């Protein structure tokens, strides 16, 4: 199969996990082509269930379909394109969320009155979690983010709202965080900017 995106992989995973998937594929291997009604009657299944499965596999190019006519009523016959299914899912594009994640030179600090609580670890050397509140009164909701050790060390050295802005690189050096963890740090920085916990220098 061609390289998949997550949407297509989810479709394949959803249908191939069905109890009837193996039996339907067995028919597709045995028959040169088959219709949804033929497969449904052969396996004593509801035709809509079979139709959805066959259409999903056709959308992934696992099956090909051919429109035929019988008594002027069109329907589709399905056949396998290949007898081996492989999934090739590239995870690299998942990190391309925003260009901001590629900017470790960004100057940042904690936002004043951000409505967030930073919880320090027992040794007071890093932040273990952040709790952020949204809304007011009874509509108030809480969001808790548990941090990795590297993220906790970074946020422990995040400048206070009254302090000068510092670059992400500077804070990482102060926290003694290796550059290998830059993407991990930028992920939490990006998230906290979106949540208005961190502000960026204009």
CA-nearest of 119, 111, 113, 126 to 176 is 126
Instruction: Spell out the domain ranges in the chain.
Output: 6-80, 92-200
Give pLDDT, residue 102.
54
Give pLDDT, residue 100.
46
158 Cβ partners below 8 Å, 6+ apart? 108, 109, 110, 171, 198
Question: Do the beta carbons of residue 101 and residue 187 sit within 8 Å?
Answer: yes
Place of tokens 């302090």: 163
Q: What distance, in Å, lies between the first and last C-alpha atoms of the chain?
A: 47
Residue 169 φ then ψ, to 5°: -60, -45
User: How long, in residues, is the chain?
Assistant: 202
Q: How far apart are CA 112 and CA 163, in angstroms?
A: 11
Write out the chain's pLDDT in tens, 202 residues. Answer: 566 788 888 999 999 999 999 999 999 999 999 999 999 999 999 999 999 999 999 999 999 999 998 777 889 999 999 889 888 888 777 666 544 445 678 999 999 988 899 999 888 889 999 999 887 777 778 899 999 999 999 999 999 999 999 999 999 999 999 988 988 999 999 999 999 999 999 7
The pTM of the full predicted model, rounded to 2 decimals, is 0.65
Residue 111 φ then ψ, to 5°: -80, 140
User: Class of the 6-80 domain?
Assistant: mainly alpha
DSSP string, the chain: -PPB-HHHHHHHHHHHTSTTHHHHHHHHHHSS-EEHHHHHHHHT--HHHHHHHHHHHHHTTSEEEEEEEETTEEEEEEEES-S-----B--GGGG-S-GGGG-TT-EEEEPTT--EEEEEPTTSSSEEEEEEEESSGGG-EEEEEEPPHHHHHHHHTPPPTTSPPEEHHHHHHHTT--GGGHHHHHHHHHHHHHTTSEEE--
């Amino acid at each position: 199969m061609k390289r998949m995106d997550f949407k297509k992989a989810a479709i394949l995973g959803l249908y191939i996990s069905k109890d009837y998937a193996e039996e339907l594929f067995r028919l597709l291997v045995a028959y040169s082509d088959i219709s949804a009604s033929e497969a449904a009657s052969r396996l004593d299944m509801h035709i809509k269930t079979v139709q959805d499965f066959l259409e999903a596999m056709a959308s992934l190019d696992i099956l090909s379909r051919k429109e035929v006519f019988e008594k002027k009523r069109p329907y589709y016959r399905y056949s396998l394109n290949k007898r081996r299914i492989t999934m090739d899912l590239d995870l690299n594009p998942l990190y391309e969320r925003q260009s901001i994640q590629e900017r470790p030179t960004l100057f940042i600090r904690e936002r004043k009155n951000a409505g967030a609580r930073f919880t320090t670890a027992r040794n007071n050397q890093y932040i273990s979690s952040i709790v952020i509140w949204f809304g007011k009164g009874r509509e108030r909701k809480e969001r808790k983010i548990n941090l990795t050790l590297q993220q906790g060390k970074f946020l422990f050295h995040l400048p206070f709202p009254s302090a000068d802005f510092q670059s992400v690189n500077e804070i990482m050096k102060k926290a003694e965080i290796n550059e290998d963890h830059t993407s991990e740090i930028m992920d939490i920085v990006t998230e906290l900017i979106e949540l208005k916990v961190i502000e960026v220098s204009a």
